[in-house]
Structure formats: structure tokens, C-alpha cells
Amino acid sequence: MSLSTAPLARAALRRHGGTSYRLAVAAAAFGVVVLAWAVAVLLVRGIGVWGNNQPFVWGFDLIAYAWWIGVANAASLFAAVLVLRRHGLRTAVNRFAEAAALAAVLVASLYPVLHLGRPLLAHWVFPLPMTTGVWPYFGSTLVWDFWGIVSHLVVTSLFWFIGLIPDLATLRDRAAREGRLGVARAYGLFALGWRGSLAHWHRHQAAHRLVAALVLPLLLSAQTVVALEFVATPVPAWHQPRLPLQVLLTGLPAGLGVVLALAAVLRGGLGIERHIDDADMDLLARLLAAAGAGCAALYAYDALSGLVLGDAATRAAYAARLSHPAWWGGLALGALLPQLLWWRRLRLSARSVVPIGLLASAGVWLDRWSLVVDGLDRAGAAYRPSLNEWALLGGGLALFCLCLLLFARHVPVVSMFEIRHEENEREREEAEA
């Protein structure tokens, strides 16, 4: 039996997507227009259009930031581990996991700029030789965060792009064969003159694995730095050494849930069930369930240390978080709901994995709300997100979807060269047998 990569290339080289594809792109594009409107309003009128106040100076901005970083992290952590372990599953899912990570980082990187009181001065966190002679304060967690998000963006895009080069060359060749020279040139530009020589393959493998190795510590650091922004303040619910680990691990269901849902949608939507097969889905779903189980254990530890082992201020702050529904929502959706995926029948049905994956992701969002808003339990006005904040949240989701839709349309969603490689391996094994 042989797997053909033709459907993957066909999906990328089709002149027109299907009607549902076009509808999806239109919906996502509309969402991006809403996002653009929200950003324009934000830049013109300032962040006074948000519902923040004293003491809730942060709200949807930091929740969304931490959440998107979590999505990106889990997705690219997953992909990087696959690359480094040369796991068979990687052939199927790593490409769109990487793409999801990249899109999530893109959306996340909006927030550190947009949430500033004076966003046009965001470049002041760069160590620029400005006439003021003032450098950034390198001890500030926000400066660490700036380097964290920039590195994340660079490395994630490199990781995704390096993996894509041989397939871009394939697309270039196929387009050229079909006589579509313009398309061929476009793909050729990004294929960086790939000719498939042994030397190319050798360097490509080295580069790919090198970047994958870079991704791992970076992912730990990116999420940790986000957590450190909270830890470095004396707010009792935030000033906890366990917070970086907690933020890092509870981020996993967010990304895995999104990747799982995406995989289910893609294999149905593009008709590539054979390339993302049941075994892939099975493994991915079990990973999400395991991440959920890990989160549940972490929640238990969190509650234990927050309510029993901590000092009086920690206990009071944790009890305050428990008195709001968001914490319980995070526990139920992010940790407990994925446990359903231990049932094989639920794992293999798109009807169950898509909602479970998305709800697990939403649960992590609630967990971030519980930390950012409910953790700041102080007397004063309540925090009520405004229309602009909802528009930014929805618009960010739309931007993420649009990126993925364009990706699914214009580049191979599953790594073609690796499938061919795997095919060759299998043929060799069969021949040897």
C-alpha cells in the first residue's frame, strides 16, 4: 500500500476553495475587520475604552496574552518534541501544529503593544540608543517578557518555515509542471532554491533539529516569563513561586485542545483522512487527556498549597479565587472534561473531539481570568470588560482562524516530504522482510 501526497499538494494548488472554505474565509475576514476596527478605536481613543480601572489595571489584555501564549506553547512544544523524537505521528500533525503555534504567537504579540497606555511608544522597551540616554530596565519582568515574545515569534516562525522548505519546492515544481509560472515563482522564492540534493537534505535536517531544540527551552521561558510578570508583584494570589509551573502546565490543554480540534476539522474539511489517520487522532486525544490529568493533579497541588500550606494572605487570596466561578470553570473544562477522551469511541469521533478540544481551551482561558481578575481581590469597582475588549478577543480568534485557513489553502497542511520519507522507509522494511 502506498500513500500518495498528491491530495495534499492538490489542496494547496487548487485554484478555488470550496464554498464552505470561502464562507469560512469570509467569516474570518469579517472578524479581522472587526479586529481592525477595535484596534483603530483603541489607538484613537486610548485604553480608556476598556473596562479596566483601579485596581483592575489588567483584564482581557493579559488574560488573552497569557492564553494565546499557552496555545502557541502547547502546539509548538508538541511539534518540537515530535521532531526531536522522530516520532511517526510527526509526519501527520506537526506541520499544522507548528502553523497553529505561529498564528497563536502572532495574535499574542498584538497584546503587549495594544495594552499599553501609549502603544506608539512600545519601542521604548528596545535597547535603542535614544537621545534620552535611558535604557530599558533589564531587571523588569516586562523587559524579559518583551525578549520572550520576540524570541518566540522568531524561533516559531523559523521552525515552521524550515520544515516547510522542501514542500515549498515540491509545490514550485508541480505548479511549474502545470504551467502556472507566477505561482511557481512565488513558491520558488520561499523555497530558497531548494534542489533536493543530498547536501541540502543534510543541512535541512541539521537546521530543523537545531531549531526544534531551540524551541524547547524557549517555550519554557516564554510562559514562565508571563507568569513572572505576576509573580514579581506583591499581590498575594500572584506572589507565589508555584505560579510559573502552574501557568506552564495549565497552558498545555489550551494548545493541545486547539490542535486536536484543528486536526479533526482539517481531515474532514480537506479529505485527507488517510494522512491524518485514526492513529494520529487517537494519540493526540490521549495526549490532551493526559495533559488534563496533569492539570487536575496540579490544581489539587495548587489548592493544597494555596489553602493549607500557604500563609494567611495566600490562603485568603486563594479562597477569594475559589469563591468565583472562573476557577471552577477552569478545573471542569481544562482538567476534567478532557478525561472523557480516555474513551476510545469519543476519541475517534470528530463530533466529540472538536467540542472537547475547544472547551478545554476555553477552560484554560477561564483559569487565566481566575488568576488575573479574581486573584486581585480588592475592594473597589468591579471589572467589566467593554465591547472593545470583546471585539479584540473575537477579532483575535478570527485572525488566528484566518491565518490557519490561508495556511491550509496555500501550503501543504501535512508534511509531504516526510510522508514520502516514511513511505520509502516502509517500502524498504517490506522489501527487507
Binding site for another protein (CB under 8 A): 46-48, 51-58, 115-118, 121-122, 124-125, 132, 134-137, 139-143, 146, 229-230, 232-236, 238, 313, 376, 378-382
Which CB, 135 or 343, lies closer to another protein?
Answer: 135
| Spatial distance between the Cα atoms of 4 and 74, rounded to a whole number of angstroms | 30
| Spatial distance between the Cα atoms of 297 and 315, rounded to a whole number of angstroms | 19
- Closest contact distance (angstroms) between CB of 236 and another protein is 7
| Spatial distance between the Cα atoms of 182 and 177, rounded to a whole number of angstroms | 12
| Spatial distance between the Cα atoms of 5 and 248, rounded to a whole number of angstroms | 36
- Closest contact distance (angstroms) between CB of 233 and another protein is 4
**Could you tell me where the DSSP H helices lie in 232-374?**
243-270, 278-304, 312-322, 325-329, 344-347, 350-369
Which CB, 123 or 351, lies closer to another protein?
Answer: 123
- Closest contact distance (angstroms) between CB of 113 and another protein is 10
- Indicate the angle between helix axes 278-304 and 350-369, nearest 10 degrees: 30
- Closest contact distance (angstroms) between CB of 250 and another protein is 21
Residue 236 carries which DSSP code? Answer: T
**Cell 468591579 -> residue:** 382
Which CB, 140 or 205, lies closer to another protein?
Answer: 140
Which CB, 233 or 424, lies closer to another protein?
Answer: 233
- Closest contact distance (angstroms) between CB of 376 and another protein is 7
Which CB, 209 or 315, lies closer to another protein?
Answer: 315
Looking at residue 39, its amino acid is V
Which CB, 41 or 116, lies closer to another protein?
Answer: 116
Closest CA to 108 of 75, 72, 57, 74: 72
CA dihedral 360→364→367→368, nearest 10 degrees, is -160
| Spatial distance between the Cα atoms of 47 and 114, rounded to a whole number of angstroms | 8
Which CB, 360 or 376, lies closer to another protein?
Answer: 376
| Spatial distance between the Cα atoms of 244 and 176, rounded to a whole number of angstroms | 50
Q: Residue 114: which H helix or E strand, with range?
A: helix 110-114
- Closest contact distance (angstroms) between CB of 234 and another protein is 5
- Closest contact distance (angstroms) between CB of 383 and another protein is 8
